[in-house]
Amino acid sequence: MSTSAVRNDSTASTGNRWLILVAGVLVQLAIGAVYAWSVFAKAIQSHDAFGWSKAQASVPFEVAIGMIFVGSYIGGRIQDRSGPRTVALTGGVIYSIGVILASFAGKDQFWLLILGYGVLGGFGLGMAYIVPIAMLQKWFPDKPGLITGIAVAGFGFGAVITAPLGQRLIANDPSMPTKAFLPLGIGYLVAVVIGASLFRNPPAGYLPPGMAPATSDHGPEVHTKDPVPEVDFTADEALRTPQWYLLTAILTLSVTAGISLISVAAGSASDVAGYSAAAAASLVGILGLFNGGGRILWGWLSDRIGKMPAFMGILGIQGVCLLLIPHVGSAALFAVLAALVYTCYGGAFGTMPSTAGRFFGVRNAGAIYGLMLIGWSIGGIVGPLLISSLIGEQKAYTLGFTVVGIIALAGMALPMLTKKPAPRAARTAAGTTESTSATSRR
């Protein structure tokens, strides 16, 4: 394809890429509703409903978080070969069916709630989640951090919409709170079908407006702190580099730190800062906005200051805030510190996709970043279990937050040690692949 042809295609597609971004946010809003689980868990524990224990009510959510990695891994692999639309539609439909199935779970159908909301919902969520993240990096190579931050911000904002809506639906029949999942599941299905139907990869050689064409074999010139690599890694090649494991560890530590607070946010607000139950619930809803906004803020900032400095900030701010939270007596100061933690928690999800793209290329971003989301599953399980066990019945918030805060601060060493794969490694990987292909052809 000639340079002029690339530029013409770029101009013709300018409007399309923004429409695809909106479609990606719509899908993320639907699947991001998973973070509103606490609304349903609280209703399920009521003696007027199912009367389940707190531990029992948390199982469907824990299963869903654990299944996200499975769905994202499979979805990422398929997407890189078959394109984004089919994978997103499949994942979104599975997710919606799982939520709808959960609506039929009664007091004695604990297994049905786990199967629907946990297994099917979590798997479909992971499958759909990875698609716009990988796809949009190809449409926006000029601003990868900002755009993937906007996309996953939709995921963070999903709970802000679903939480109050779910509460209203539950109020219609408090004895059967799971019935609320039926209209929600149908709504999610409509949203993901509309959004995912617009998904597609850009044409080969696509350049966004104002972006310089390639001046070498290294691909288009991108004016960001971290330029694109010379050669795209495959998922198998990325797994053979220490950088993949370092990035996954950074994501795991950030998730562990942030979700530790998220899992006990309402109780902490009441016990540490003196919030009433109603005020604590309102605060949790407001904090969801910072989770979403942090994905945009840190994604944009990482394009300016570099990916590793951004992660040092994300982990460092979380660590300091967690150390301070159990010692504040002011409701306002508690809210500020919690908002900073939520902002950084979301920021890791807004920054890591473009980081993976800058380290390993965007051609196989679905599979490579999909594998990294095992950090989400690990952190999402370890964080809540760790802090709840440390706080215990004695409400030892100082011990719990101090331990998690120190872990986050110690994690700042990882971004300092993480460097991009050397160009030599990329060329070696590409040469090995070409050699293998040539041998097979002979």
Identify the pLDDT of residue 214: 46
Instruction: Produce one character per residue of 305-341: b if its CB has 16 or more CB atoms within 10 Å, e if not.
Output: ebbbebbbbbbbbbbbbbbbbbebeebeebbebbbbb
According to DSSP, residue 396 is labeled -
Identify the pLDDT of residue 115: 95
- pTM equals 0.76
Could you give the CA distance from residue 130 to residue 441 in angstroms, rounded to a whole number? 33
What are the structure tokens assigned to 382, written together? 């370890």
| 379, 251 contact by CB (below 8 A) | yes
Identify the pLDDT of residue 220: 44
| 31, 161 contact by CB (below 8 A) | no
Identify the pLDDT of residue 92: 94
Could you give the CA distance from residue 394 to residue 385 in angstroms, rounded to a whole number? 16
Domain 16-206 sits in CATH at: 1.20.1250.20
Q: pLDDT tens for the chain, 442 residues: list them.
A: 444 444 434 433 445 888 999 999 999 999 988 878 877 887 887 888 888 877 787 788 888 888 888 898 888 888 877 888 999 999 999 999 999 999 999 888 889 999 999 999 999 999 998 888 888 888 888 877 788 788 888 887 887 788 788 888 988 988 898 999 999 999 999 999 999 999 988 887 777 766 655 444 444 444 455 565 667 888 888 999 999 999 999 999 999 999 989 878 877 888 889 888 678 777 877 888 898 889 889 988 988 899 999 999 999 999 999 999 999 888 999 999 999 999 999 999 989 988 988 898 877 777 888 889 899 889 988 888 888 889 887 888 999 999 999 999 999 999 999 998 876 555 454 444 444 444 444 4
Identify the pLDDT of residue 5: 41
Could you give the CA distance from residue 400 to residue 61 in angstroms, rounded to a whole number? 22
Residue 217 has a CB neighbour count (10 Å cut-off) of: 7
Could you give the CA distance from residue 186 to residue 400 in angstroms, rounded to a whole number? 40
N-terminal to C-terminal alpha carbon distance within the chain: 28
What are the structure tokens assigned to 416, written together? 């300092």
Residue spans of the domains in the chain: they are 16-206, 233-428
Torsion of CA 63, 64, 69, 74, to 10 degrees: 110
Cβ burial, residue 126 (10 Å; 0-12/13-18/19+): buried
Identify the pLDDT of residue 4: 40
| 326, 274 contact by CB (below 8 A) | no
| 352, 360 contact by CB (below 8 A) | no
Could you give the CA distance from residue 396 to residue 220 in angstroms, rounded to a whole number? 54
CATH class for the domain made up of 233-428: mainly alpha
Rg, the chain, Cα only: 22
- Could you check whether 16-206 and 233-428 share the same CATH topology? yes
Identify the pLDDT of residue 229: 61
